[in-house]
Amino acid sequence: MVLPSAYLPPVSWFSALLKDETFFIEQYENYHKQTIRNRCTIDSPNGPLHLSIPIDKGNFIEGKCLMKDVRISTHSDWQRQHWYAIETSYFNSPFFEYLQDDFRPLYERKWRFLMDFNEALIETSCAILDIKPKMARTTAYKGLTPVAYSSHTPSVPSSPLPSSKPYYQVFQQKHGFLPNLSIIDLLFNMGNESVLML
């Protein structure tokens, strides 16, 4: 299975991941802006909130850049802003207190390449889920496996999404159940039961 690099991927990305013991991250595709490659969606007090990692356009040629070469911009304080948004949104969730120390250090470290940061977050999420898939990067362009997950933003799916099993969400009484949010929504709300929902 070949999946795109993704920033705190949506629940559907992880559901697709569980279909195979081995998967590849496509590093030879061209970067697509405003997709899960540098954007995730969390549940916030005001509804769905998109968090986007700013990209350094310095090594783009004619607007294109391979995923493996995409660098994170150093011109903003996005890491502090993203962690503040995550903390504000999930502080009252059942498992945030127990899992925050797994994620916070990743937001305190400086990252040069988008794929490196994404992979660290995916590996951390897999460890919490207690799944051990074999993950590697492609060595040449393979293309993405056509599976039922959204490679774009959860609000604009590129393919039909599997029906999400509803689970407890902090702001559910206010917004109703929001399907296919970032994996951290599932982890902070369901803890070690998250893998059962996938």
- Supply the range of the domain harboring residue 54: 2-197
Helix (H) or strand (E) holding 49: strand 47-52
Q: Six-digit token pair at 54?
A: 């700013």
pLDDT at 158 (0 to 100): 42
pLDDT at 152 over 70: no
The confidence band for 154, taking pLDDT boundaries of 50, 70 and 90, is very low
Query: Average pLDDT in the 33-39 region?
Result: 94
pLDDT at 157 (0 to 100): 40
| High-pLDDT (> 90) share of the chain, % | 81
Q: Is residue 3 a contact partner of residue 25, using CB atoms and an 8 Å limit? A: yes
pLDDT at 155 (0 to 100): 43
Q: In a 3-state reduction of DSSP, which class is residue 131?
A: coil
What is the domain count for the chain?
1
pLDDT at 49 over 60: yes
> d(Cα 137, Cα 119) in Å, to the nearest integer?
10
Burial class (CB within 10 angstroms; exposed 0-12, middle 13-18, buried 19+) of 126: middle
pLDDT at 149 (0 to 100): 61
pTM of the model: 0.92
- The beta strand positions in 73-187, using DSSP E, are 134-137
For 69-128, how does the pLDDT look when each residue is reduced to its tens digit (9 = 90+)? 999 999 899 999 999 999 999 999 999 999 999 999 999 999 999 999 999 999 999 999
